[in-house]
Amino acid sequence: MDEKKKMAYRQGLVVFLLLAVLTIGEFFIGVVASLWWMPLLGIAFFKAFLIVRDYMHIGRLFTADEEEVFP
Amino acid sequence: MTTGTTQMANYRQKTGMNRLGLWLFIVSDTFVFAGLFISRFYLLGTATRPEVSQWLGLAVTSILLISSFFMNRAETAIAHGDQKAFLNGTLITLVLGTLFVIGVVGVEWQVAPYGPGEDASWSLFYTMTGFHAFHVLTGLIFLAVVYRKGRKGQFSSERHWPVEAAAVYWHFIDVVWVFFYPALYLIGNPPL
């Protein structure tokens, strides 16, 4: 497995672990303090940011065709 | 410039335009989901939520999250020419996506204490979950087509725009659920 591929897989895994931790965190906030809507929405926005940046690769939209990068 | 290089340059240019089109569609779809999301807070505020199981919510959310991880792996695999890992990742995503739909429509809707005709807030609950589940269903069809073409060896590390499009669409479905999950299952208490 070449280094670039390994790096891409590792990045996907790190993002997934972050999303998992945040999801468990928001579940416990929801169970213990369900009226804390601001932290819950804050976590949701952060999770969305991670997915849009690292899984949906929004950056590709702004890169020139010649310098196109694969995940 | 050789013919092969010209063809590749044309393909990349076309992919750039396709990418822009897909993102414009995603932005327009976001407005519909945002309208539903805001309606939930308009109707129920932040102190009340629908009377649904938080454990079931966590279960379906986890399934969708894991499916996104495998979709990312599948896309990474095809971008590096690994056909087998791409097919495996896509297949696992298909299975998990199907489980998500079963979890929401087949389980959640059946165990929910009220139907969509009960009141405006329950009507909205079914609209939000139903509209999202419909998007998951279309994503599954998209993935099934990509999987079938992948089995025929129609994608390579240089040419795999349909895989990228399916992955971006699938992750968009995940982003929508990232907001729907706290809105429906976590924020506020069920009415007494």
CA dist B118 and A32 (Å) reads: 28
B48 DSSP β-pair partners: B189
- Looking at residue B5, the DSSP 8-state letter turns out to be H
ipTM of predicted complex: 0.92
Are B128 and B184 in contact by the 8 Å Cβ rule? The answer is yes
Amino acid A66: pLDDT: 47
* C-alpha B7 chain-centroid distance: 32
The shortest CB-CB distance from A61 to any of B19, B172, B181 is to B19
Note whether B182 contacts A61, CB cutoff 8 Å.
no
Q: What is the mean pLDDT of residues B135-160?
A: 96
Tokens for B182, please give them. Answer: 């706290």
Give this prediction's pTM: 0.93
User: Chain B: residue nearest A2 by CA?
Assistant: B80
Please check whether residue A31 touches B, CB under 8 A.
yes
Give the residue from A23, A55, A58 with the most B CB atoms within 10 Å of its CB, the best one to mutate.
A55
Query: What's the whole-number average pLDDT of chain B?
Result: 94
Instruction: Provide, as residue numbers in chain B, all residues whose Cβ is less than 8 Å from the Cβ of A66.
Output: 12
Note whether A30 contacts B182, CB cutoff 8 Å.
yes
Regions in chain A scoring below 50 on pLDDT: 66-67
